Amino acid sequence: MLKMSLAEIADANENYNRSVEASVEKAKKDRACQNKLQQEWDEKLRSISSHRLPTGIDVPLIAVPRMDHPAQIARYRGEWGFPGEFPYGLSIYPRTFLIIDGKREHEEPTRIFAGLGSPEMTNERFHLIMRQQQSKRLSTAFDTNTLLGRSADNPDYFLDIGEGGVSVSTYQDILTLYDGFFSDDTSISMTINGPSLWMTAARFQAARERGQDLQKIRGTSQTDPCKEDDAQNELLFPLDKSIKLAMDMFEWCARNAPAYYPINISGYHIEQKGATPIQQAAFTLANGFVYIDAALQRGMNINSIGKRLPFFFTSGLEIEYIALLSAVRRIWAVALRDVYGADDLAAQKLKAHVQTSGRSLYEREIQNNITRTALELFHALLNYPQALHSNSYDEPITTPTEGAVRIASDAQAILFEEMGGFKDMMAHLSDGSGRMQIYHSVMKGVLDYFRQIDEFGGTLQAKADGFFRDEIARSSTLYDKQVHSGERRIIAINRYREGREENKDIPRVEISRDIKQKRSEDVKRFKSQRNPREVKEKILQLQNTARKDGNIFDITLQIVKDVTIDEWTRALQEVYGIYRRKI
């Protein structure tokens, strides 16, 4: 079956780079070519309309450089492309972030991550966030128990209930958690991997029951087992089985919930674990190609696959982030078009959610984190991502408090609505020489990694041999050394440290014993109200489907109302085994 090597993808990208150089050379000499380029350029410029800003000046909707020679045109188009044009160096859409005549063409990218304590508490927080943002986009953080497929009635993990995210164990919990948000225009994101099929099935089933049409349901779940293996370790089943499960849901959704994104290929955690920006880009793309190959092996069409694989990256303070997303977009687009043969433009366009870096935040002089986050947002915007999360400044010490979440959300609104620039003119800072330099450095770094990974015999083998984890660990150690030695300057940490006070009076979110106790009892009650024979029967159905290699998402959807997250996990672990953490 079709399986592409990373070396082929690196070759294709280098071929593309050479073709750009060749087109520039041709434009220097070839008269006909020059005329054609100039003609197209003039046409394009004529098609770009202007609008008047509140200060009274008129600006074009897209910033385009002045060209003194057709060779420059050839370079611009080959390297960047107009916004929305291959290779998508500037943007995958032509009008992202623009506000024209008081209206926004695209949905606002704001997507604030929240989750704490019980489903009731988190539901309340969701309603608060929705009052503060225009777009109807929610993002859910789950507690460790939930991420590991444990239910809240398990006494062994009582203290973890609701810490750092919401506790969800039963179908009833999902109904409570998303109460008020079962509507077609609400997009719900769920940051969950191991029990992702259970969680998504529960949401789908609840949506159906509340009259929603799955053909229109919007949202996403993370379901990225590859990056779990690299960074998080929160897998429930061995990696190959976890990829199979992800693919079961991926295939099911392509047919039955086409607007839903069941997988989010995530670099964020890889970077947070210690990877350099380039490692983040390289490993995450490599993981993405694993999913493409797995989906192709199931006979899915590359155009359908390409459209359904969004990414999730960090934006940090390092200079690489001024063009990192642009670089991965180009590599992805070239691979999809030239290696995999995706001719649908939508399949070539890498869609990305970006989150500011949690690793860059510090406890000391904690309000500096607001500045860090704002600057990271700015780095992100230079790359035109599709969705954004800004961290709350108090995250180093607590689950974000309400006030801090508001400031984080406002930071985005200030950039999008208050500050002149992104709302006024597409790509107004995007084709500069600094971004060009970084763009190429990142691409080269990524392709170098592709060749190294290929030498192991591909991504999965490189992972099995510990290459990804070892590389990340090496970078993490180096980072710490640099902070320690002062080579990497961190304000109020290793620079201007004198006279700084520790922040003692920051409010913290506490999940009380009472809340945990109530959670535990709620789940116990849910379990006791079921017919044990029926539950056992349904669990057996699930296990039989797993033994016969059937579609697990399909059967999960049928049983999710009765089978809790821990029962689902346990049942499948009996068949598939438990994921062995890598050391």
Partner 1 sequence: MNLAEEKARLDTLLDQKKAELDITLKPKQVHRLLNEPLEENGPTGQKVLEQSKYYAACLAKLDDLPAKTPTTVYGITGRGGSGKSTLLDELTLRFFHDKRMKNRKVSILAVDPTSSRSGGALLADRIAYMYATDKTWVNTGRIFIRSVASRGYGGGIARALPDMVKILKAAGYDVFIESYGTGQPDTGITGLTDKSIIVITPDIGGAAQIAKEEMLGVPKVYIVLNKNELRGAKHVTSLLQGKVSNDRLFLTTAIQHNNSGVDRLYQSLTEGHA
- What is the contact surface with partner 1 in residues (CB under 8 A)? 154, 156, 238, 570, 576-581, 583
Beta carbon of residue 457, minimum distance to partner 1 (angstroms, whole number) = 10
Residue 403 vs 457, nearer CB to partner 1 = 457
Distance CA(434)–CA(432), nearest Å, equals 6
Spatial contact of 337 and 291, defined as CB atoms under 8 Å apart: no
Q: What is the DSSP letter of 504?
A: -
Distance of CA 519 to the CA centre of its chain: 30
Beta carbon of residue 230, minimum distance to partner 1 (angstroms, whole number) = 17
Spatial contact of 399 and 509, defined as CB atoms under 8 Å apart: yes
Distance CA(95)–CA(348), nearest Å, equals 18
Spatial contact of 402 and 368, defined as CB atoms under 8 Å apart: no
> Residue 464 corresponds to which amino acid?
A
Beta carbon of residue 568, minimum distance to partner 1 (angstroms, whole number) = 15
CB atoms closer than 10 angstroms to residue 208:
14
Residue 129 vs 235, nearer CB to partner 1 = 235
Residue 1 vs 583, nearer CB to partner 1 = 583
- Element housing 312 (H / E): strand 311-315
- Element housing 58 (H / E): strand 58-60
Query: Can you read off the two tokens belonging to residue 460?
Result: 């999965």
The dihedral over CA atoms of 97, 102, 105, 107, expressed in degrees to the nearest 10, equals 70
Residue 391 vs 459, nearer CB to partner 1 = 459
Residue 90 vs 462, nearer CB to partner 1 = 462
Beta carbon of residue 506, minimum distance to partner 1 (angstroms, whole number) = 34
Residue 474 vs 570, nearer CB to partner 1 = 570
Residue 122, classified by CB atoms within 10 Å of its CB into exposed (0-12), middle (13-18) or buried (19+), is buried
Beta carbon of residue 169, minimum distance to partner 1 (angstroms, whole number) = 16
Listed as own residue / partner, the contacts of 47-51 with beta carbons closer than 8 Å and 24 or more positions apart are 51/100, 51/101, 51/424
CB atoms closer than 10 angstroms to residue 185:
11
Q: Please write down the HEC assignment for all residues of 14-45.
A: HHHHHHHHHHHHHHHHCHHHHHHHHHHHHHHH
Query: Can you read off the two tokens belonging to residue 256?
Result: 């039955």
SS3 562: coil
Beta carbon of residue 157, minimum distance to partner 1 (angstroms, whole number) = 8
CB atoms closer than 10 angstroms to residue 213:
10
Spatial contact of 84 and 94, defined as CB atoms under 8 Å apart: yes
Beta carbon of residue 539, minimum distance to partner 1 (angstroms, whole number) = 15
Residue 161 vs 345, nearer CB to partner 1 = 161
CB atoms closer than 10 angstroms to residue 311:
27
Alpha-helix residue ranges (DSSP H) falling in 81-182: 119-132, 144-147, 171-177
The dihedral over CA atoms of 285, 490, 319, 192, expressed in degrees to the nearest 10, equals 20
Residue 268 vs 579, nearer CB to partner 1 = 579
Beta carbon of residue 97, minimum distance to partner 1 (angstroms, whole number) = 46
Beta carbon of residue 365, minimum distance to partner 1 (angstroms, whole number) = 35
Spatial contact of 298 and 264, defined as CB atoms under 8 Å apart: no
Residue 156 vs 418, nearer CB to partner 1 = 156
Beta carbon of residue 224, minimum distance to partner 1 (angstroms, whole number) = 21
Q: What angle do CA 68, 69, 72 make, to 5 degrees?
A: 100
Residue 18 vs 536, nearer CB to partner 1 = 536
Distance CA(330)–CA(447), nearest Å, equals 12
Residue 156 vs 505, nearer CB to partner 1 = 156
Residue 94 vs 238, nearer CB to partner 1 = 238
Residue 521 vs 574, nearer CB to partner 1 = 574
Q: What are phi and psi of 190, to 5 degrees?
A: -125, 115
Beta carbon of residue 469, minimum distance to partner 1 (angstroms, whole number) = 13
